A and B are shown apart, each in its own frame.
Chain A
Amino acid sequence: MQLVLEKRAERSGTIALVSPLIAIGLTIVTMVILFAILGKNPLLALHAYFIAPLTDGYSLQEIAVKATPLVMIAIGLSLCYLANAWNIGAEGQFLIGAVAGSWIAVKTQGTDAGAWVLPAMLVLAAAAGALYALIPAICKVKFGASEILTSLMLVYVADLFLDYLVRGPWRDPHGFNFPTTAEFDPVATVPLLIEGGRLHLGSTIALLVVAAAAILLGRTIKGFEIRVVGAAPRAARFGGFNANQLIILTFAVSGALAGLAGIIEVAGPVGHLQPGISPGYGFTAIIVAFLGRLNPLGILVAGLFLALTFIGGEQAQIAMKIPLDVTKVFQGILLFYVLACDSLILYRFKLVFPNRKVVARGAG
C-alpha cells in the first residue's frame, strides 16, 4: 500500500477556501505541543498571541500600524506575481521611496514651508519607487535579464545609498555624528488619526489601495489582462495582450506602492530618515502576498494576521517570557503549513494498492 499525490483534474474550490483554515489549525496544534515542551501553559500562550492583542485599542492600533506597509507593498507585488513578473526587490523600492520623499522634508526643514510638503513627499516617493522598479523591468523586457536577480540586487544599492545620505549630506548637524536626519517638521509628518496613539493616515491610504486593487482586478479589462497573461501566456498572446507592456506596468505600480509605503513609514511612525527603517518589510510582504493568495482582500487579512503575530509575539515575550525565537518559529511553521495545504488544491492524496495493478503515477 502506498500513499501518492495525484494531480486533480481541476482546482478544488472547496479546498482553496478551507486550506488556510486547515493550515492555521495545524499551526495551532504544533504550537500547543511546542509550548508544552517549553513548559509554558499552551492556552495562556495562545491567548497572549491571538486574543490579548485583539482586546485593547492600543494593540489594535499597533497591529494596523505594523500591517500598513506590509499590505501596501504586498498589493503591488500581487499584481506583479499575477502577471508572472517576479519583483523581489520591493525592499529597495521601499527605501528609495523613503529617500526621495525625505529629500523634500530635509530641504524644507525649518523653512515654515506650507501644507504642500507632505503631499509632495508622497507623490515624489511613489514616482521614485516606480522609476526604481522600472530598472529591472526594462532590463527584463529589453535584454531578457532575470528580474528576480536584478530587482533583488538593487535592494542593496538602495540600502547603501540611504546609508550614504544619512551619514553624509543629510546628517543631523546637531546629532553628534549619529547616522540620522533631524526630526521632520510637523508639515512633513503623516498626521495621526487618534490623538496620543500611533495610528496614522497611512492606514487609510492602505485601505484605499486595497479597494483600488480589488476594483482593478475584478472589474476592469486591465485586471483581466493581468490575470490572463499570468495564468495562460499563450492564450494571452493570441488574445493580443502584450506581456512585456504588462511587466513594465505591474513593476511600476508595485514600485510606486512600495515607495509610498516607505515614505509613509519614515514620515509617520519613525519621524526621520535613518538606516534600518525597514525590518525587512519588502521581503515579509512577499509572504503576505502569497498568504493572501494574491487577492486584495486576502492580502489585507494576511497582513493584519502577520502583524498580529508580531504584536502577540511581543506580548507573549513580556507576559510569559516566551523567547522571541518562538515567534519566528511560529511564523515559519505557519508559512510551511499554508504552502503544504495549498498543494492540496491541485493535488489529492490517494491510497494505492499495488496488488490491484493500478499504475501509480508519480509514486516514489
Chain B
Amino acid sequence: MRKSLLALAAGLLLAGSVSAASAADKLKVGFVYLGPIGDLGWTYQHDLGRQALVKELGDKIETTYLENVPEGPDSERAIEQLVRAGNKLIFTTSFGYMDPTLKVAKKYPNVHFEHATGYKRNPNMSTYSAKWYQGRYIQGLIAAKMSKSGVLGYIGSFPIPEVVSGINATILAAQTINPNIKVKIIWANTWFDPGKEADAAKALIDQGADVIMQHTDSPAAMQIASERGKLAFGQDSEMIQFGPKAQLTSIINNWGPYYIERVKAELAGTWKSEDTWGGLDSRMFTMAPYTNMPDDVKKMAEDAQAAITAGKLHPFKCPIVGQDGKPVECKGGAHLDDGQILGMNFYVKGIDDKLPGK
C-alpha cells in the first residue's frame, strides 16, 4: 500500500514537471464558449475558427477551450482559470461575458482579452463582431420573393441591438419587394435551446409564416421548417443538412481569419486593443449557397451581396421611417452611422409588433 502511494506521488511529480516544461515556449491561447462545441451553430463556428488557428500556427501556440460556460458568476471564474493556467490571449465568445471579461482584464493587465459582440473595451481588451445585418438584408430580399403568404416568421433571442438591427434590415429589404410584407416575431429569450427554438418555429408556422428566420443558435427551427414543408434561413453555420429542401441560404460565421490575425499580432508583439466590426467585405461571415429558389431570385441575391460587399448598397440607407411614423435622424449622411446601428433600439415602420421593454 505504502509503495503504491509513493509510486503515485512520484508519478504525479514527474508528470507535473514534464507538462510544465513542454508548454513553456508556446503561446497559450484560451477560448470561452457559451454552448457545447457540438451545437452546430454559434459555438461550433468559433471552434472551427480555433481549429483553423491551430492548423495555421499550431507549432507556435497551444489552445485551450472551456465549453458550456454560463453567462453568470461562473464565467468570471472560467476566464480567470484560463489566465492562471498561463493563457496570454483569451477570446470570450458571448455577449454575456462582457462584464466578467472586463473585471478579469483589469485584474491582469499583462494578459490580452478579446470579447465577441460587446461594447466595453480596455487597453488590454478588444472587441470583435460582424455586420450580420448585411446578411439579413439579403435574406429579407429573398424572403419577400419566396413567401406566398407574405408573412415572415422571426425567432429572436434577446431584444438587443444586434438582433433588432437584423430584424429591421430584413424588413427594410423585404419592403422593397413587397411593401405589405408582415413579420411575426417570437422572443425565445435564449441563445441556445433547441426545444424552445422548435416550439417557436411551430408557433410561427401556425400563425401563417412560410419563411422562418432565426437569431438563435441551433438548427431546430430549420428542422421544423423542413418537416412542415416551409422555407427557412440557417444561422451561424451551414444548416443545409437539416433542411435540404428548406434552406434558402445561411449566414455562416467565419472567425478563423480573425483569430489567426490577432494571434499573429500577439506573437509579433503588436497586439493592440481594437474594435473590429467585420462586414461581408472582410469575410468575417459568408453567405451559404443560395438554394431552393428560382434563378432570378438567386441572381437578385447574388447582386445584392456583391453590391453590399463593394460598399455600393447600405442596408440602412436613408430615409428610414421609425415605427412611430417619424423619420429617423440620419447621422451617417446617406445612411445610419455605425453608432446608430450598434445601439439600435427601435423598430422601423411596417413591423406590426412592439419592441419588448419599449
Please give the residue numbers on chain A whose beta carbons come within 8 Å of chain B beta carbons, in ascending order.
Answer: 41, 43-44, 47, 51, 58, 62, 65-66, 163, 167-168, 171, 176-179, 183, 196, 198, 265, 269-272, 274-279, 311, 314-315, 317-319, 321, 323-324
Contacts and interface: CB of A to CB of B under 8 A. Distances in A.
B73 A318 contact: no
A43 B66 contact: no
Given A43-B8, A276-B71, A318 B81 contact: yes
Given A43-B15, A58-B84, A319-B19, A314 B64 contact: no
Max chain B C-beta neighbours (<10 A), residue from A163, A177, A270? A177
Given A51-B12, A58-B84, 13 more contacts: A43-B8, A43-B11, A43-B12, A47-B16, A65-B73, A167-B356, A178-B158, A178-B160, A269-B73, A277-B73, A314-B81, A318-B66, A324-B36
Interface in B313-349: 342-343, 345
Contacts of A269: 73, 76
Contacts of B273: none
Which bracket fits the contact residues of B?
A: 35 or more
Contacts, number: 91
Max chain B C-beta neighbours (<10 A), residue from A43, A51, A178, A179? A178
Contact of B77 (A62, A265, A277): A62
Interface of B: 8, 11-12, 15-16, 19, 30, 36, 64-68, 70-74, 76-78, 80-82, 84-85, 95-96, 99, 107, 119, 158-161, 164, 189, 342-343, 345, 356-357
B85 A177 contact: no
Contact of B119 (A58, A66, A176, A314): A176
9 contacts: A65-B73, A176-B161, A176-B342, A178-B95, A271-B99, A276-B72, A318-B81, A318-B85, A324-B66
Given A178-B158, A318-B82, A279 B74 contact: yes
Contacts of B357: 167-168, 171, 177
A277 B71 CA distance: 8
A276 B193 CA distance: 14
B158 A179 contact: yes
B82 to A, nearest CB: 6
Given A176-B345, A196-B107, A265-B73, A44 B12 contact: yes
B72 A279 contact: yes
A326 to B, nearest CB: 12
B85 A47 contact: no
A270 B85 CA distance: 23
Contacts of B82: 318
Contacts of A270: 72-73
